[in-house]
Chains A and B, each alone.
Chain A
Amino acid sequence: MLTVWAILIDGFIYASWLFLVAAGLTVIYGVMRILNMAHGSLYALGAYAAASALGWYYAGGGDQLIMAFVIIAASAIMVGALTGLVIERGLLRLMYGRDEVLMLIVTFAVLLILEDVIKLIWGTTPYSAYQPYAAMGRINIDVLTVSGYDLMVLAVSLVIGVGLWFWLERTKVGKILRSIIHDREVSEAMGVNVRRMFTITFMIGATLGAIAGGITAPIISVVPGLGVEVIVMAFAVVVTGGLGSITGAAVGAVIVGLARATSIHTMPELELFIIYAVMATVLIFRPNGLFGQVIARKI
């Protein structure tokens, strides 16, 4: 019984982290039909920016937890939005209208470039910013202990999920975006500035990736190659849930999170295997993921 509780708690904490990482990816795909391989690099950029900003803050004698969160948010949003803007305006703009697969390769090239940009800026030595994590302490639930910071990640993830849902379903911009998802040409004919919407969407997606990295920075040691590991995980989540669907990303994150936690507590050697096995199994039965739309083939 204890194992079941441990699996549930770990699973949901891991799922909330997965959702944070995957949300930006699925937003960008949903609107722009671009599967952004560079998403992992944006995550890494956010993590590095937050880790070095926190490093300055704590080295300067600061010890306010609230300030630490403001710093994480500000540095991640700044670096994410700026990089997103540069990538979209400088590169993707030249490629619109090409194959989805070609866009996948283009973003793969962006990933390669960003990986080295990160190495050139921050070097190859690991960064760590453990202070906020340590400051939040641990909470006892019966005999299990949970880190306060992990619970905060869960809360942030819920807020971002609900925020995204509200943005897409209840605001004017969201309505416009849904019309673009539905039919790009008709929306353009109705006077929607699709290009500007694309820029906004890409910046928001990129920022979400950077925020995920920034929030994760205190939990991990920030090292080169961070983004490359994360992106495959995020892919597994969005493909399981159905590409381009926020609900799908949330459900996919919960499934993958619980599957991984189950594996860690019962068969740890299958940890990596289980994530992709879940994805492959879902795809066998639902080729477009759990919440994906089937696209009619054109003759």
Chain B
Amino acid sequence: MTLEKTEVSLIGVAVALALLSLVAPNWLIFTTTLAISTALVVMGVVMLMRAGLVSFGQGLFYCLGGYAVGLGGRFFGITDALLLIVLGVAVTVGVAMILGLLVTRYREIFFAMLSLAFSMILYGVLVKSHGLGSTDGFGVVDWTILGFLPGSGESSSRIALLMALALALGVALFLNRYFRSSIGLACEAIRENEVRVEYMGISRKQVLYINYVIAAAVGSIGGSLTALAAGHVDPTMAYWTVSGEFVFIAILGGTGHVAAPFIAALIFTLVRTYAIELAPNAWQMILGIVLLLIILFLPKGIWSLFTRKKRVAS
């Protein structure tokens, strides 16, 4: 198996970021970790978008991943970060396999609203669970990685970033191949014309189901990483406006390339860090206006800026 150009660049960027983290200030490391975690959830939204489905409820899996980390540490005494992430993925895949049977029967706004409803159900349950801190959520236990305690403060956040980078690289390499696998391509075909896909002998239900479950698992990893890096989980992770932000980032990046969600999430997180300080009451307005501008002028997201340049050059 030889590496392709995209794979080489993905590995290169990940290694470069890992090296940069040795000199970068602490806040930047933390922001980058959050951006990578967010990008993983957005990746799930993008996977569904490629199949023509818009999910306003991806926060469900984000929240499941986060709470699995929190609860695993609190009630089962698991402290190993990787084990906690695996636990989150296992729980999420279980939930997604049940929900997937239902939601993959729906399209367009019905899919959007149903996924929103399920994520709001989780939100409603968590808000009323007083044992889990209700709306305040609760803190995540000090985690270890492979039997080694990363300490606190700077070294801990650096190790969280390295872990996020490694996982994100793995996911990106996998999805890069997945998008061009027969299932990945069938998703795009379903977006274009479902009935013709059925005529070709492909089961659209099966394709959408598998795609939905993988998207959920990827989103769960993002949620787990956020919980580990931030050290706290709360029910807002499942609130529908959070899912709306994921949709925003997905549209900002576009569905053209596996790297697009990462770039979009990094821009989003960095801009938000400043915007909330400078203009706390205009941040959402900026988001809304940018979203409209992208829909009107860059329907394929910021990634299309790169591809357009390439075409002009050649």
User: Which A residues have a C-beta under 8 Å from some C-beta of B?
Assistant: 35, 91, 94-95, 99-102, 104-106, 108-113, 115-117, 119-120, 124, 228, 232, 235-236, 239, 243, 269-273, 275-277, 279-280, 283-284, 287-288, 297, 299
Contacts and interface: CB of A to CB of B under 8 A. Distances in A.
B291 A112 contact: yes
Contacts of B128: 269-273
B82 to A, nearest CB: 33
Contacts of B114: 280, 283
Contacts, number: 112
A113 B288 contact: yes
Nearest to A277: B121
Contacts of B117: 236, 239, 276, 279-280
Contact of A112 (B127, B287, B295): B287
A7 B114 CA distance: 27
Contacts of A275: 124
Contacts of B56: 104
A271 B117 CA distance: 14
17 contacts: A95-B295, A100-B108, A101-B108, A101-B112, A105-B247, A105-B291, A105-B295, A106-B292, A112-B244, A112-B291, A115-B284, A119-B281, A124-B281, A235-B113, A273-B124, A273-B128, A283-B106
A174 B236 CA distance: 42
B212 to A, nearest CB: 16
A52 to B, nearest CB: 18
Contacts of B241: 228
Nearest to B118: A280
Nearest to A269: B128
A111 B288 contact: yes
Nearest to A124: B281
B109 A35 contact: yes
A269 B110 CA distance: 27
Contact of A100 (B109, B283, B291): B109
B118 A108 contact: no
Contacts of B251: 105
Given A104-B112, A110-B288, A112-B287, A276 B295 contact: no
A239 B80 CA distance: 43
Interface in B189-240: 193-196, 240
A284 B118 CA distance: 13
B124 A276 contact: yes
A105 B54 contact: yes
A272 B281 contact: no
Contact of B127 (A111, A115, A272, A284): A272
Nearest to A225: B241
Contacts of A95: 295
B294 to A, nearest CB: 9
A106 B109 contact: no
A272 B54 contact: no
A275 B109 CA distance: 18
B102 interface: yes
Given A270-B124, A276-B124, 17 more contacts: A35-B113, A102-B295, A104-B56, A109-B287, A109-B289, A113-B284, A113-B288, A116-B281, A116-B285, A120-B282, A232-B116, A235-B113, A276-B121, A280-B102, A280-B117, A287-B110, A299-B193
Contacts of A270: 124, 128
A279 B284 CA distance: 29
Given A102-B295, A108-B247, A280-B118, A116 B196 contact: no
Q: Which 7 A-B residue pairs are closest in the complex by CB-CB distance?
A: A272-B124, A112-B288, A116-B285, A113-B288, A109-B291, A109-B288, A269-B128
Contacts of A283: 106, 110, 114
Nearest to A102: B295
Contacts of B296: 94
